[in-house]
Amino acid sequence: MPSILLIVTGSIAAPKALDLCKILLKEGYNIEVILTHGAKEFVSEEMFEALAITNIFSNIFDAKMEEKIGHIELSRKSDLVLTYPASANFIAKIANGLADDLASTAILASNKKIFIAPAMNVEMWHNKIVKDNIVKIENRNIDVINPESGLLACGEIGEGRLKEPQDMYQIIENYFNLRYKLVNKNILITAGGTREKIDPVRYIGNFSSGKQGLAIAKKFREYGANVTLIAANINLHIPKNIKTLTCESAEQMSDLVHDQCKELKYDIAIFSAAVADYKVAEIAAQKIKKKQHDKLTLTLVKNPDILANISKVLYKPKVLIGFAAESENLEQNAKEKLVKKNCDYIVANNIATHEIFASDENNILFINKKESHSFAGTKERIAEFIIKNIFKVI
């Protein structure tokens, strides 16, 4: 069963962590607990010991703990790091990279999925500083489990109530269920923008940065899938745990996709790359000189449609997902593409109303033959949304 590192911080909602532990232990999860200094105002180590949790830590300089595992291993051993409840102070520390106690150090040192469940007064929750900190931690790929609305411990009514233990448990369970489905699955992703050579120094390209495709690749890795990324001209840091094959042109990308699919049965392929529909019929061997031409006409010929072609071969991945950047009639054009390219889903972007290329944000319509869902947010959130929705229908 998975291991959870549970961090409890100073909030009047801290006793709910005990109820959550009871549920998780009953379901067979392993739990280790870190109590911050503030948490100890509301709960004690003995209360967790009484639930038969043996590993409870609170002090970064605790000899007992360092002897056993050391503060870095603590976050490495677990499959998930959950802060429940998270105070405004703790969120501020995480947002700004502070590491002045065991809990914040463990989060900073973690290479695992992190959930943070805030609990605080309604005015604090809506305070601009807290909101900015929440955005910061979300951008660091931490999942914020939004608080509920209701009667707060201070007597005020509004948003700020910690997610109830049973609901929190369900979120954890959903996360591990998805992980269970995805672990060791083979995922192929194309990303970036292809370049078609005109002569030795020039090319026809597009504005795609590869950010969305890379976000999807990272998210699949986070869930334990094997990811192959076919990257066209991506100028971003790609983590080493993503197998990456680079290419420049559509033709090269097409060859790589076919080679990969022949070699390995992919479970899901996501074609997020912006592929040039045309290439130059004849690439000039020498740099084209302007003194030779008053007017220059390039003859373009069609590139292979990688997605449409792969959907027709025997070695095609089990699930195919295409992208569609449209400047008008988004849903209708996306639906046509779904049929024409014979894929299972289309992720459609409206490029007329949204600045998408190279942006950290995105706005999509996710469609299959039966339904369509829209979603807006950071490219990481979009990646999460896509992954969760693929599995709803498979």
* Residues annotated as part of the active site: 154
Among 273, 320, 365, 367, binds ligand C5P (CB under 6 A): 273
- For residue 275, state whether it binds ligand C5P (rule: CB under 6 A): yes
Which residue stretch of 92-100, 208-216, 269-277, 349-357 sits at the interface with ligand C5P (rule: CB under 6 A)? 269-277
Among 82, 324, 386, 387, binds ligand C5P (CB under 6 A): 324
Which residue stretch of 16-24, 109-117, 230-238, 321-329 sits at the interface with ligand C5P (rule: CB under 6 A)? 321-329
Which residue stretch of 47-55, 127-135, 238-246, 319-327 sits at the interface with ligand C5P (rule: CB under 6 A)? 319-327
Question: Cα separations (Å) of 285 from 199, 200, 298?
Answer: 6, 7, 14
Here the tokens at position 62 are: 């605790």
In terms of Cα–Cα distance, which of 384, 393, 377 is closest to 171? 384
CB-based contact 188:260 (threshold 8 Å)? yes
| CA–CA distance, 41 with 138 (Å, rounded to integer) | 28
Here the tokens at position 168 are: 């929190």
- CB-based closest residue to ligand C5P: 306
Q: Specify the residue, 83 or 228, whose C-beta has the smaller distance to ligand C5P.
A: 228
Contacts 24+ apart (CB under 8 A), 95-101: 95/132, 95/133, 95/134, 95/136, 95/137, 96/133, 96/136, 101/36, 101/37, 101/60
| CA–CA distance, 101 with 238 (Å, rounded to integer) | 31
CB-based contact 31:4 (threshold 8 Å)? yes
- For residue 277, state whether it binds ligand C5P (rule: CB under 6 A): yes
Q: Specify the residue, 35 or 306, whose C-beta has the smaller distance to ligand C5P.
A: 306
Nearest distance from C-beta of residue 253 to ligand C5P, angstroms: 8
Among 303, 311, 349, 350, binds ligand C5P (CB under 6 A): 303
- For residue 250, state whether it binds ligand C5P (rule: CB under 6 A): yes
Q: Specify the residue, 42 or 323, whose C-beta has the smaller distance to ligand C5P.
A: 323
Q: Which residues pair with 144 in a beta bridge?
A: 116
- For residue 187, state whether it binds ligand C5P (rule: CB under 6 A): no
Residues forming the site for ligand C5P (CB under 6 A): 190, 250, 271, 273, 275, 277, 303, 305-307, 322-324, 337
